[in-house]
Structure 1
């Protein structure tokens, strides 16, 4: 039997869960404005950081590569993403956001008022501390892609 979680840790876990639920709810609504599903918007957000192999996208989203193929197909049909050969291994296809796709990601992020407004109310020092703490928590996850 694993040890019980202390009350403060339990409260933090519950708060993280509430933040995640709000994020997904608002992100999915913002995605719908752009005629995207939440999954399509999340793939597009990943691609806005630079081209990625389909397998890595699947690992990041913790889903099957075949799911990513369908999502990228739909993003391509809307002119938001494109496939290209990996310059280091022509057998590998990379998915990449188009300029329109990157603009869409920026619009999506800018529309997330639940996060923007409360976070803007924190000082730069507090936002930096929060970012650093979240990075430490994520770095401790051995299953993190």
Structure 2
């Protein structure tokens, strides 16, 4: 049986959960404002960074590649994404954001501001420490 968590750890876990829940709520609202589902908005945000194969998108979002295919199909139908062969391996198709997709992804990113002000209130050293701690948690 794992050791019982101390009160501080439990509080931190609850706070992380509250931040994640607020982020998801805001993300869903922002996505809906653009006629997108939260999943479509998350895929579009990934594609705005770089073209990706479906399997890598699925891996990053922790879902099945077949789900991503449907999401990219819908983004493509809206003119927000497109597929093209991977120059490194012509057998692989990459999904990429179109110009309209890049604009929409930027609008989505700009709409997510619940944490922006509280984070801006922290100095650079505190934001850096928070970032580094979160990275360590995700690596572990």
Do the structures match in fold with TM over 0.5?
Answer: yes
Q: Does residue 28 of structure 2 align to residue 23 of structure 1?
A: no
Give the aligned partner of residue 78 of structure 2.
Answer: 78
Q: Does residue 116 of structure 2 align to residue 102 of structure 1?
A: no
Kindly tell me the number of residue pairs found equivalent between the two proteins: 140
Give the aligned partner of residue 143 of structure 1.
Answer: none
Give the aligned partner of residue 135 of structure 1.
Answer: 135
Alignment of 1:1-145 (within 5 A): 1-140=1-140
Deviation at 1:117, TM superposition (A): 1.5
* Unpaired stretches in structure 2, ≥5 consecutive residues: none
TM-score by length of 2: 0.96
Give the Cα–Cα distance (whole angstroms) in 2 for the partners of residues 53 and 133 of structure 1: 30
Deviation at 1:113, TM superposition (A): 2.1
SS, match of residue 114 in structure 1: coil
SS, match of residue 48 in structure 1: helix
Give the Cα–Cα distance (whole angstroms) in 1 for the partners of residues 80 and 122 of structure 2: 33
RMSD: 1.0
SS, match of residue 34 in structure 1: coil
Deviation at 1:104, TM superposition (A): 1.3
Query: Residue deviations 1:107-136, cap 9 Å, x none?
Result: 111111211111111112211111111111
Deviation at 1:11, TM superposition (A): 0.9
TM-score by length of 1: 0.92
